Amino acid sequence: MRQQEAEKEKKILIGVGIVLALVVILLLGGVVYEYVVKPRQAIASVNNETISVSEFQRRLRFDQDSLARQISQYINLGQQFAGADGANPFMGQIQQLIGEVGNPESLSIKTLDAMIEETLLRQLAAEYGVSVNDEEVQLDIEQQFNYDRTAEPAPTPDPNQPITDTVPSNTGL
């Protein structure tokens, strides 16, 4: 009798062990799929160049953060330039941006469209041999800010030189 019960307990333990092993295998498979396989899957293909799920998710988070920063900036500007009634003059822009953030499907489509357009532009640039080096980018930035590399730097005061009276003394006052 004891031997039969020991056999039953042994079979039950083996069965429980098998079930637990299957559960662990399924969980590990799900984790591997979610964090390894899925991010590498293509969400779009542009002329045999793929945009992966992870690239899309990273860009979508960037776009969401960018919209949140814009909302915050408009709120801060509104506090600085509020009218006499205290109303934020940028409320229209704030509401529009909140609408974009509040509609994840639309924002996702907008982000994916932008990524596809950028991929197409990169492909066309490569096809036509268009390239830009770091120096050209730097020069363009300088031109946008009207920066002149060749200009003499403005003199800085020498902290060791005593301050002298620069106002003429014979002004008659």
User: DSSP per residue over 106-152, as a string?
Assistant: HHHHHHHHHHHHHHHHHHHHHHTT----HHHHHHHHHHHTT--TTSP
Q: Which two tokens stand for residue 142?
A: 């300088």
Q: Which two tokens stand for residue 129?
A: 């041999």
pLDDT digits (tens, 9 = 90+) for 20-55: 999 999 999 999 888 888 878 889 999 999 999 999
- d(Cα 58, Cα 143) in Å, to the nearest integer? 31
Q: Which residue has the higher pLDDT, 61 or 34?
A: 61
Does 106 score more than 80 pLDDT? yes
Does 169 score more than 70 pLDDT? no
The pTM of this model reads 0.62
Question: First and final CA of the chain: distance in angstroms?
Answer: 125
- d(Cα 7, Cα 66) in Å, to the nearest integer? 65
Does 110 score more than 70 pLDDT? yes
